[in-house]
Amino acid sequence: MRAVASCSGSTLQRRLSCSVACLALVLVLGFWLGPYALALYHLEAGGRALDVALVPVFPDRLAPEQVRDARALEAGIAHLHEASRRDPRNVQALRLLARAYLSQGNPQAALAVLQQALAVRPENPLLHLELGDVYDVLGESEAAVEAYETGRIGSRGVPLAANYLKLADVEAEAGGGDAAITLWRKTLAVDPGNLYALHRLAEAHRAMGDERTAVLYEGRLQDSKPQSVTVPLDFRLADYQAQAMAALVNKGIWEHSLLLEVVSCQLERFADGVPALMLERELQVLLRQWPEDATLLFYVDALHRHQGSRGDS
């Protein structure tokens, strides 16, 4: 009987010891995992709030968005701050904070949180691309180009082309012809139909006495089909394209009628949403060259009437 009692007592002790160990383990895990669980909760709540608060303008890049609910935006930022406080290595919370800060008009804060995210994940190409987007908003073209190229360009061909053209013009004005040519060629690598880059390359090679190459670039411009000239989804590229179109007409590479046909095709295809804003910018630039052109004025009026009818519906 004593042996049985002793055995039962040992079993009870083992069970109690096991229960205490399990409870201790649960407490330790709860203490350790608690901040991460709360971080995930605040991340989810912050992301939902931003989706309510913001309407993206460019779906393929980080850029200031339309704010439709300022209170939801503030709530989202508060949740995301709490997520990053509880888990400083939470890269997704930092990315969403960058989105919110940009939409608040605070790109420097967006830059700071993305740099913090890159310190955690330095090899993440998406973070480099979004860093390039922020530098692009800040107007820091060299930094934007470096970040985009480090991120392997991805879907950032449009802003990258805009920054290549800006840097190329700076080089050309400073007498750096070779550097400008390299940048215009890089532009064509990401935007093969870029009229401005083709035009400037033709000019540069002719100035160098390389008539053969100049003619090749001009041939590509002369072969442009009206339906192939799209409206770029970037105000800077719309400006550059309109400048190129005007120069091509003034230099006899295009007939004025071809320019009007190009704009007519664009009006048929790009009269809604963000593309319509880019087309309007292009028309504004062209009207500075030909302010009394009745057809261009008609196209502007047609674009406005179309946008008005869409708004009424």
Does residue 13 sit in helix, strand or coil? helix
Question: What is the torsional sign of CA 204, 163, 157, 229?
Answer: negative
Integer Cα distance of 129 and 61 in angstroms: 8
User: Can you read off the two tokens belonging to residue 268?
Assistant: 């048929």
Phi and psi angles of residue 153, each rounded to the nearest 5 degrees, phi first: 65, -55
Per the listing, tokens 């820091």 go with 140
CB 214 within 8 A of CB 251: no
What pLDDT does 96 receive? 98
Q: Which CATH class is domain 156-223?
A: mainly alpha
Which of 280, 312, 310 is closest to 297 using CA atoms? 280
Q: What is the C-alpha to C-alpha distance for residues 155 and 251, in angstroms, rounded to an integer?
A: 34
CA dihedral for 15, 17, 19, 22, sign (positive or negative): negative
Cα–Cα dist 313/216, whole Å:
48
Give the global pTM.
0.86
Q: Distance of alpha carbon 10 from its chain centroid, rounded? A: 68
In the prediction, which pLDDT does 36 show?
76
pLDDT score for 309: 76
pLDDT on residue 7: 47
Q: Which fold has domain 43-150?
A: 1.25.40
Q: How far is CA 241 from CA 139, 162, 200, 295, in A?
A: 20, 11, 12, 19
CA-CA distance, 36 to 42, in Å (whole number)?
10
Angle between helices 91-103 and 125-138 (to 10 degrees): 20
CB of 307 within 8 A of CB of 278? no
**Residue 67 structure tokens:** 């704010």
Q: Nearest 5°: phi and psi at 54?
A: -120, 150
pLDDT string in tens for the chain (313-residue length): 444 445 455 665 665 555 544 444 433 334 444 567 888 999 999 999 999 999 999 888 999 999 999 999 999 999 999 999 999 999 999 999 999 999 999 999 999 999 999 999 999 999 999 999 999 999 999 999 999 999 998 889 999 999 999 999 999 999 989 999 999 999 999 999 999 999 999 999 999 999 999 999 999 999 999 999 999 999 999 999 999 999 999 999 999 999 999 999 999 999 999 999 999 999 999 999 999 999 999 999 999 998 877 665 5
Q: Distance (Å, rounded) from C-alpha 228 to C-alpha 268?
A: 13
In 39-187, DSSP assigns E strands to 54-55, 66-67
| pLDDT at 32 (0 to 100) | 44
In the chain, residues under CATH classification 1.25.40.10 are: 43-150, 156-223
Model pLDDT, residue 139: 97
Fill in the DSSP letter of residue 203. Answer: H
> What are the distances in angstroms from CA 307 to CA 58, 280, 292, 303?
19, 11, 23, 6
